[in-house]
């Protein structure tokens, strides 16, 4: 099969990438307690740099009350810039572009993580998953405006640190998604109510980020948006809602990035809809904005399937944990040496931070293809994955 995913790609703003492979954002849970970058993270990303055209970092919170879990990156203050600069430099080895994913966790946090402070959200409604989710405090109008400003300031810091773009994490039931979802946003003011009003917050965040790029960046700088196609709660986001959402933002961002565990996924809510989600989103994005397809891509032929289904770029996650040189090996035809299984004894050699090793073993054991658990195999074709908000992080 041809390997079109190794061809270069140029975004509409002029930024070119050497191939269409994107290392998907995956948390390492390895930042310092205050969100500063650690050497473990730099080594982890550095080993995987040079192959993919783009590497997207794990999430960095933009507000102090936006932290979702321990070991999370932060971009809340200028004191974070030196560490982020070192991280961007490590990623940009041999022409790989570096994207900083930014977010606010909203109700997907805890008072323990926030050092006694109650989590916040669009409305004072707890998340369905996990079952012991705390009831958040409803954000005031003034607080919403501050978070919008925080996203802009985070973008400025990413620019100053040398990143080539930011990705707004509007997926996995975090705050941007919480404002759009009828499940979590039941406000009656200008920030909630109708579908159009529930769009106001994410649109304002996009505008804040665009203004920061216009003011501070001298070079082409990407603004991406990641979204989850569906929620399984009722009420909640359905596929038609997400396609509407894409239509509203597709001319305001530089790419759309789906979040799902399998590129073969069809609708989780409408079982009569047999078309893949990637193909359905591509009918709305094709010729307007590039679409990043994702989900359990391990082999070169699977990457080609994602492009054939309508995506413009392919995000690869767990496979790049197992095989940091995946792109380089595919490029020289050394397919036989690609590591598709992971021995727990090799994780240090692969520069996987120790805390991340525990995370992979406990939360992703059934899909990491550990050599010690070969019989315990799962895929995410017909269900939400843990990173999509279905299970509690360790």
- Which tens digit of pLDDT belongs to each residue from 291-326? 999 999 999 999 999 999 999 999 999 999 999 999
Contacts of 333 (CB under 8 A, 6+ apart): none
Q: Is 255 a catalytic residue?
A: no
57: tokens are: 């970092």
Sign of the dihedral defined by the CA atoms of residues 105, 293, 200, 13, in that order: positive
CB atoms within 10 A of CB 314: 26
pLDDT at 381: 75
Q: Which two tokens stand for residue 2?
A: 């041809």
Cα separation, 177 vs 228, whole angstroms: 8
Q: How far apart are CA 343 and CA 337, in angstroms?
A: 15
Report which of 3, 67, 6, 12 is spatially closest to residue 35, judged by C-alpha positions. 67
CB-based contact 305:265 (threshold 8 Å)? no
pLDDT of residue 384: 77
- Contact by Cβ (8 Å): 84, 158: yes
State the pLDDT at residue 390: 54
314 contacts 6 by C-beta, under 8 angstroms? no
Q: In whole angstroms, what is the distance from residue 55 CA to residue 51 CA?
A: 9
Could you tell me which of 87, 90, 43 has the C-alpha nearest to residue 350? Answer: 43
Do the beta carbons of residue 19 and residue 6 sit within 8 Å? yes
pLDDT for 389:
64
Q: Name the catalytic one among 174, 263, 359, 380.
A: 174
Ranges in the chain, pLDDT < 50: 391-394
What pLDDT is stored for residue 196 in this prediction? 96
Q: How far apart are CA 364 and CA 272, in angstroms?
A: 29
Give yes or no for a contact between 164 and 146, defined as CB atoms under 8 angstroms apart: no
* Residue 389 backbone class (left: φ over 0; alpha: ψ -120 to 50; beta: rest): left
For residue 304, the number of C-alpha atoms closer than 13 Å in the C-beta half-sphere is 8
- Report the pLDDT value the prediction gives residue 392, as an integer from 0 to 100: 37
CA distance 198 to 191: 6
Q: Are strands 16-17 and 9-10 parallel, antiparallel or unpaired?
A: antiparallel
Residue 222: strand, helix, or coil: strand
Q: How far apart are CA 371 and CA 361, in angstroms?
A: 12
Q: What is the pLDDT of residue 1?
A: 57
Q: Report pLDDT for 373.
A: 79
């Amino acid at each position: 099969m041809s390997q079109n995913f190794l061809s270069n790609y140029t975004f509409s703003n002029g930024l070119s990438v050497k191939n269409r492979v994107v290392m998907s954002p995956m948390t390492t849970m390895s930042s310092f307690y205050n969100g500063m970058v650690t050497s473990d993270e730099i080594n982890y990303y550095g080993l995987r740099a040079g192959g993919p055209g783009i590497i997207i970092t794990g999430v960095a919170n933009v507000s102090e009350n936006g932290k979702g879990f321990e070991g999370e990156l932060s971009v809340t203050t200028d004191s974070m810039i030196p560490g982020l600069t070192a991280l961007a430099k490590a990623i940009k080895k041999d022409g790989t572009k570096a994207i900083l994913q930014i977010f606010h966790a909203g109700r997907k946090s805890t008072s323990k993580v926030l050092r006694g402070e109650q989590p916040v959200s669009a409305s004072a409604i707890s998340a369905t998953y996990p079952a012991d989710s705390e009831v958040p405090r409803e954000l005031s109008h003034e607080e919403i405006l501050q978070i919008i400003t925080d996203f802009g300031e985070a973008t400025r810091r990413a620019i100053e640190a040398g990143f080539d773009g930011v990705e707004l994490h509007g997926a996995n039931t975090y705050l941007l998604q919480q404002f759009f979802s009828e499940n979590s946003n039941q406000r009656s003011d200008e920030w909630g109510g109708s579908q159009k009003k529930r769009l106001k917050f994410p649109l304002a965040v996009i505008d804040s980020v665009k203004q920061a790029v216009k003011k501070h960046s001298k070079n082409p700088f990407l603004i991406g948006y990641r979204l989850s196609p569906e929620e399984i709660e009722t009420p909640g986001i359905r596929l038609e809602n997400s396609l509407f959402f894409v239509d509203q933002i597709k001319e305001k961002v530089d790419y759309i990035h789906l979040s799902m565990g399998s590129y073969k996924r069809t609708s989780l809510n409408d079982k009569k809809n047999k078309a893949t989600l990637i193909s359905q989103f591509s009918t709305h994005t094709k010729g307007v904005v590039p679409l990043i397809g994702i989900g359990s891509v391990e082999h070169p032929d699977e990457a080609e399937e994602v492009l054939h289904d309508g995506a413009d770029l392919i995000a690869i996650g767990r496979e790049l944990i197992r095989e940091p040189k995946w792109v380089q090996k595919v490029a020289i035809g050394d397919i036989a040496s690609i590591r598709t299984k992971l021995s727990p004894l090799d994780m240090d050699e692969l520069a996987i931070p120790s805390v991340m090793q525990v995370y992979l073993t406990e939360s992703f054991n059934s899909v990491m293809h550990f050599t010690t658990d070969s019989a315990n195999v799962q895929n995410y074709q017909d269900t939400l994955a843990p990173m999509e908000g279905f299970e509690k992080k360790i």
